[in-house]
């Protein structure tokens, strides 16, 4: 029902937070629990999303072949998966430190709450951005056990990066959302204006990612990765147009995976060469 490989969107940012908190490679056990927590949280959130949206998914031609609408997975099985994933998430957080465990209900709630936002606000894409913005903060707190020194601009970068690509992806369902009374930016302002707003979100994301390098004192290697990220963001907007969404999956999955992994690799390389 859920592709685990898509955890790659948020997971590298959690690792960025962990590496920044450590000033290099974190302690292996802590890093492992952070990874387990991220996969558990995403599995729980995506499973919950499939459950609460199953009626709309069944009516939407794009999503009608998903596991719940087709009966390939039944509702009881889906709930078992969601509850088990939540348990794994909280267990992993408890193995890190007290502050991580204290923040875990808020972090998980934000991801679950997103599933309801299309029912009442067109700003649902920003809500998803807020949820994923917990990723680098969670990585940082998982290692350090405090907020002290955290580069908050990194979370702002993630927020606008996610809001931008989710706005573009929402263009696929703009007509369906409008017909069913669901909310999204493409459904409310049209695909063309939604693309323009997504471009603005990505400009903000690039700006905050650049500030992250400055605030964290990273070296040239981080900015090399940032240039590659800028190229990927630009290419993402070149791949699709409001009137041609045929290549949106390449834009959404390939480029976003590239961006998150590139920024993580650039951060790691920068931290490893700071003394040099």
146 Cβ contact list (under 8 Å, min separation 6)? 99
Q: What is the pLDDT of residue 246?
A: 87
So where are the chain's domains?
4-272
Q: What is the CATH number of domain 4-272?
A: 1.10.357.140
With 90 as the cut, is the pLDDT of residue 274 above it? Answer: no
What is the per-residue pLDDT across 96-117, written as a single tens digit (0 to 9) for each? 999 999 999 999 999 999 999 9
Asked whether the whole model's pTM tops 0.75, one would answer: yes
237, exposed or middle or buried, with CB in 10 Å at 0-12, 13-18, 19+?
middle
For residues 25 and 147, is the Cβ–Cβ distance under 8 A? no
With 70 as the cut, is the pLDDT of residue 6 above it? Answer: no
Mean per-residue pLDDT over the chain, rounded: 94
C-alpha angle 182-184-185 in degrees, rounded to nearest 5: 150
* pLDDT band of 68, cuts 50, 70, 90: very high
Least confident interval from 55-59, 195-199, 244-248: 244-248
For residues 245 and 172, is the Cβ–Cβ distance under 8 A? yes
User: How many CA atoms lie within 13 Å of 223's alpha carbon, on the beta-carbon side?
Assistant: 10
């Amino acid at each position: 029902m859920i592709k685990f490989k898509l955890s790659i969107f948020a997971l590298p940012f959690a690792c960025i937070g962990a590496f920044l908190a450590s000033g290099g490679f974190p302690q292996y056990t802590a890093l492992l629990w952070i990874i387990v927590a991220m996969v558990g949280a995403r599995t729980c959130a995506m499973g919950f999303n499939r459950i609460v949206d199953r009626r709309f998914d069944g009516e939407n031609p794009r999503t009608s072949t998903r596991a719940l609408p087709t009966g390939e997975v039944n509702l009881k099985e889906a709930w078992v998966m969601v509850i088990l994933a939540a348990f794994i998430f909280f267990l992993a957080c408890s193995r890190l430190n007290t502050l991580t465990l204290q923040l875990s209900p808020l972090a998980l709630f934000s991801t679950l709450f997103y599933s309801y936002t299309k029912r009442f606000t067109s700003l649902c894409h920003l809500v998803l951005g807020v949820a994923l913005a917990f990723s680098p903060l969670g990585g940082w707190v998982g290692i350090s056990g405090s907020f002290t020194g955290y580069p908050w601009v990194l979370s702002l970068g993630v927020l606008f990066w996610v809001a931008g690509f989710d706005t573009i992806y929402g263009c696929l369902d703009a007509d369906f959302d409008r017909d069913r009374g669901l909310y999204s930016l493409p459904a409310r302002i049209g695909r063309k204006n939604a693309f323009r707003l997504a471009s603005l979100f990505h400009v903000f994301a690039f700006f905050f990612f650049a500030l992250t390098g400055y605030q964290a004192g990273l070296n040239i290697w981080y900015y090399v990765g940032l240039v590659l990220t800028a190229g990927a963001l630009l290419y993402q907007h070149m791949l699709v147009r409001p009137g041609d969404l045929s290549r949106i999956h390449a834009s959404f999955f390939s480029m976003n995976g590239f961006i998150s992994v590139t920024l993580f690799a650039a951060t790691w390389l920068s931290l490893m060469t700071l003394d040099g």
